[in-house]
Chain A
Amino acid sequence: MPSRMNSARRIACIVGLQLAALLPHSGCSLILDSDATQCGSDGDCVHFPRTQCDLEHRVCVPTPMPPQDGGAATEVAAPDALVSCQAASGCFQCTPTSDLEFQGACSDATCIPFDNKRLTNINLDGTLKDLP
């Protein structure tokens, strides 16, 4: 019985996270995937230590080391050596430091998504109406 319940919980959680992946979400910028648009500025790369945004390819890349002894700048590591903070299930798997990371951190807790499509008294653009 317990394992059955756990499976159900996991399914609910994964479904929720898959739904979430369809929505604009800051977590999307954390995926270290050179095929995806990962960042628009250096600020989007703060979750990868010692990286900055490559604005041409829109991916996080290692920050060049300062030149030593007048030599040319060198990179600290190849991009694929970095660890993604987003687990395959979509949760945040590094040490959380912000609200979004705490709230989206990987966990074995039950999670049950609420479908905001149930909201019908909202503006046409999907935003919430002002209170009466």
Chain B
Amino acid sequence: MRLIAFTSKAALLLMTLAGSPRLDAAECATLPNPVYVTGSTAAKPLLIELSKYLASQPSPVTIVYLGQGSCTGVGAILNGTLIQGSGTTALSTWDATGTEKKCDVTTPVAADVGISDVFASTCFTLPGGLPGNVVDFWGPVQSMTFVVPMGSPEVSISAEAAYCVFGFGNDSGVAPWTDETVIFKRDTSSGTQRMISAAIGVPAEKWKGAATTGSSDLLQKLTLASPREKTIGILAADVAQDNRTVLKVLAYQHTKQSCGYFPDRDATSNEKANIRDGHYAIWGPLHLFSRVDNSGYPLKSSAGDVIGYLAGSKSAPGQLDLVFLEAQRHVVPQCAMRVKRAQELGPMLPFEPVGSCGCYYEKVANGATKCTPCQRQVDCPASAPVCSYGYCERN
């Protein structure tokens, strides 16, 4: 089973690094129920999984994706920036097996969903908030990480150290991270960089280091860089976790925190315990921006369905288990969270979601949970009286 998991991850890495072959590219508009999604490159693995499933339904929906960075995705909805691409810039779709295919958008179209790792206000100055015809729907929670190549002796980093490394580059004064050619950053449109900026206090436009064009590019450069001990970069946790064979996620010690934590309980588990309970600081919901009608529903109904599935507000068709899917993609459904926040890296508040799925999430993410299994409420103890997703939860 481990071998299968490893093989599939290795295959995903190879696909990610190599890019997908350009097959016979159709016009995207001719595909069944196309939903145009643009923005975060870190969200791509989750979209692939959802695309596979939706493509296999009797009434298939085709997610047509253009990865451009989170803030570009926000801008596509806020500013109505049209998207297009063909040939080498063709957009991506996935069939029911998860095989990536390309399609052309020769006549520019409006994006249906702008997908972002960060709040709109992290990308743009919005003194009056979002326009009335745009809604920020919250999807699962994801986290951003500092990563080093396998072979680096480093195991943790503090907010203060990251400030020096990414704010001063060659002059960081934090050995061994003193060589800008192997300190890898993203760009100002990147949600990964923007969210980490909010955590460490280095504005996205002031980062030092070698630029990369996306998560895949950063991953490739990081893993090939030399010397390894001087190399560091940033990745969304889902991308980092898919590549644990070639890189290490550093434990992160936030300002005023006395110890560094991984997103997960330890370096090898998958349950995102430290995101869910607030020990790991760099996290936020995936944002799904869409223009809406007067009732607050996305203008294109199939886009509304996609958003609903990702936000957990709409039951997916057939047997799609979204909690399972999100656990596989290393993001956290809202129902598994114990903390919440309303702004980028803003103060955390206790969160008790109705219909908690924390225990089930642990079970599918790690393969085991210490929670009490249940079929009915009466199976549960007073300390966790609610039977939800097959396990006794506090609420």
Binding site for B on A (CB under 8 A): 9, 13, 16-17, 19-21, 23, 25-27, 90, 95-100, 102-105, 107-114, 116, 118-122, 128-129, 131-132
Bound Cα distance A47, B245 (Å): 43
Do the beta carbons of A103 and B160 come within 8 Å of each other?
Answer: no
> Which of B1-9, B90-98, B270-278, B295-303 lines the interface with chain A?
B270-278
Partner of A121, one of B158, B172, B257: B172
With A110-B266, A114-B253 given, is the CB distance from A121 to B164 under 8 Å?
yes
Do the beta carbons of B160 and A109 come within 8 Å of each other?
Answer: no
Of A25, A114, A120, A128, most B-chain CB atoms within 10 Å: A114
B174 within 8 A of A: yes
B366 contact set on A, CB distance < 8 A: none
Bound Cα distance A108, B264 (Å): 11
A21 contact set on B, CB distance < 8 A: 258
B206 contact set on A, CB distance < 8 A: 131
Do the beta carbons of A16 and B267 come within 8 Å of each other?
Answer: no
Residues 285-306 of chain B: 1 if any A CB is under 8 Å from the residue's CB, otherwise 0? 0000000000000000000000
Q: Closest residue of chain A to B177, judged by CB?
A: A118
Do the beta carbons of A128 and B155 come within 8 Å of each other?
Answer: no
Partner of B273, one of A102, A109, A121: A109
Q: With contacts defined as CB atoms under 8 Å apart, how many contacts are there between chain A and chain B in the complex?
A: 120
Do the beta carbons of A16 and B160 come within 8 Å of each other?
Answer: no
Binding site for A on B (CB under 8 A): 155-158, 160-161, 163-164, 167-168, 171-175, 202-203, 206, 251, 253-254, 256-262, 265-267, 273-274, 277-279, 281, 339, 347-350
With A90-B258, A109-B274 given, is the CB distance from A96 to B158 under 8 Å?
no
New A-B contacts (8) at CB < 8 Å, excluding given A107-B274, A109-B274, A110-B262: A16-B258, A96-B278, A102-B278, A103-B254, A105-B279, A109-B279, A118-B175, A131-B206
B348 contact set on A, CB distance < 8 A: 98-99, 102
With A103-B254, A105-B278 given, is the CB distance from A116 to B158 under 8 Å?
yes
A121 contact set on B, CB distance < 8 A: 164, 168, 171-174
Do the beta carbons of A111 and B164 come within 8 Å of each other?
Answer: no
Bound Cα distance A50, B262 (Å): 36
Do the beta carbons of B265 and A25 come within 8 Å of each other?
Answer: no
Do the beta carbons of B347 and A99 come within 8 Å of each other?
Answer: yes
A109 contact set on B, CB distance < 8 A: 261-262, 265-266, 273-274, 279
Q: What are 19 pairs between A and B in contact, CB < 8 Å?
A: A13-B259, A16-B260, A97-B349, A99-B347, A100-B257, A102-B279, A103-B257, A105-B277, A107-B273, A109-B279, A110-B262, A111-B251, A111-B260, A111-B279, A118-B174, A121-B164, A122-B164, A131-B202, A131-B206
Q: How far is the CB of A27 from chain B (nearest CB, A)?
A: 8
Q: How far is the CB of A6 from chain B (nearest CB, A)?
A: 9
Q: Closest residue of chain A to B347, judged by CB?
A: A99
B277 contact set on A, CB distance < 8 A: 102, 105, 107
A107 contact set on B, CB distance < 8 A: 273-274, 277, 279
B158 contact set on A, CB distance < 8 A: 114, 116
With A23-B258, A110-B267, A121-B171 given, is the CB distance from A96 to B350 under 8 Å?
yes
Do the beta carbons of B161 and A118 come within 8 Å of each other?
Answer: yes
Partner of A128, one of B164, B175, B278: B164
Bound Cα distance A90, B273 (Å): 20
Of A13, A25, A111, A121, most B-chain CB atoms within 10 Å: A111
Do the beta carbons of B258 and A25 come within 8 Å of each other?
Answer: yes
Do the beta carbons of A16 and B259 come within 8 Å of each other?
Answer: yes
Q: How far is the CB of B365 from chain A (nearest CB, A)?
A: 15
Bound Cα distance A132, B161 (Å): 16
Q: How far is the CB of A123 from chain B (nearest CB, A)?
A: 11
Bound Cα distance A19, B347 (Å): 25
Partner of B279, one of A98, A103, A118, A129: A103
A16 contact set on B, CB distance < 8 A: 258-260
